[in-house]
Every structure is written in structure tokens, then in C-alpha cells.
Amino acid sequence: MQTQIDAGKSLELVRHELDTWRANRSKRSAVPEPLWSLAVELARTEGVNAIARALRLNYYGLKRRMGQSTPGAVPEKRSGFVELQVSGPVRSIGCTVRMERPGAKMTLEMAVAGVAELEGLAQMFWRHPV
């Protein structure tokens, strides 16, 4: 079974492969990753909802896999850079922290900020699944 869709491979062919797998699978076995990969490639062009419905796949499972790296996908760039803007003299320390990843955004506005608290919040944000 191929993990990339050839130019001529259509939704119907992927549906046929899934139907064949469903007919021959063990009871309650998980969809094989190569079939998920084919569905992800279709969803990148046709949309997650349309492909999940057409292939009778779990929408959230397909959406989650869309965010994971796949062959040919551009890896997400992460930066360790933090910019703090200070204009003029500051009497109290305050900050705004904005973090964004696919499917989630977080903005913190703090009157007093400690590095340990910000670090802990940032780690929870980046590690928590969407």
C-alpha cells in the first residue's frame, strides 16, 4: 500500500482501500497509518470535514493528524526568541505574552511577572494537545 497519493489516485480509490481494509480487519482494530496518511493528503486539498465524511473517518482523528508532520510537509519553525518592549521609565513591571500554535492561542497580561511563572505557563501551553 502506498503512503502518497499519485496524481491519478482519487477519493474513490482511497475509499475503496478503506472499504477493503474494513471488510478484512479484525474486530475493533485501528485504521492503519498508511490509510490515515492517504486521508490526510486528500484533506489538505479537499478539507477535513469533506474527507472525514466521505471516508467515514473520525473528524477529530483526521484533524489531529493534519497537524502532525507528514512526508513532504514543511516542518513548523519554533523560535526561542522573546521580545520585551519597554518605552520610557517603568515603575511597575508588567508584560503581555502572546503564544500561538495551530489550533490554539494564548494571551497573558500580567501586572507583575516572574520568569518562573511565565516559563511554567509556556511549557503547559506547548505540551498540552489541542
Model pLDDT for residues 84-129, shown as the tens digit of each residue: 565 655 555 677 778 887 777 888 777 765 556 667 777 777 776 6
* Residues in Cβ contact with 21 at an 8 Å cutoff, skipping those fewer than 6 apart: 31, 32, 35
Rounded Cα gap, residues 121 and 113, in angstroms: 12
Give the pLDDT confidence score for residue 78 in this predicted structure: 53
Helix axes 48-55, 33-46, angle to 10 degrees: 130
pTM of the predicted structure, to 2 decimals: 0.47
Does residue 81 or residue 94 have the better pLDDT?
94
Q: What pLDDT, in 10s, does the model give residues 19-67?
A: 999 999 888 888 988 898 888 888 888 888 889 999 999 999 998 888 8
